[in-house]
Amino acid sequence: MTRKPMTRKQGFSLLEVLVAFTILTITLGVLLNIFSLAIRTTQSAQQQQKAMLLAESKLTELYAGTTLQPGREQGWLDEYYWWETRVEEFDTRELMDNQSMLLPYQLSVVVGWSHHDQQYRLTTLRLVRQEAR
């Protein structure tokens, strides 16, 4: 009588299955972290872009005004974004002679979001004739 050599049955052992699940779990966890970071980055970029557009809009409103009056205004654009504008006379004693008919104003617009933590700021100068003041 001859014995047949024992052959190993084909299939996976419990240890091999556990190792495969562990590798799969770690890989999925890393992928989920990457996707959530991408989503947060995209949302942040969208918020910054919207703040930039809102700030440019507010600055255009300041330009459209007939006269510039020094002062500060603020308000809310919606429940998430707030704004603040400042108009100040710009000191030009060192840059220009005092005989100039043009008076520079510094215009500043700040748009913020996320409970005052993040802000987008635009600042520019505008020359105004003194008689138009």
pLDDT, tens only, 90-105: 877 666 666 667 788 8
- Quick one: which of 73, 83, 86, 79 has its CA closest to 51? 83
The CA distance from 76 to 113, in Å, is 10
The CA distance from 106 to 91, in Å, is 9
pLDDT, tens only, 24-74: 999 999 999 999 999 999 998 999 999 999 999 999 988 887 678 889 999
Instruction: State whether CATH 3.30.1300.30 applies to domain 14-129.
Output: yes
Eight-state DSSP code of residue 118: E
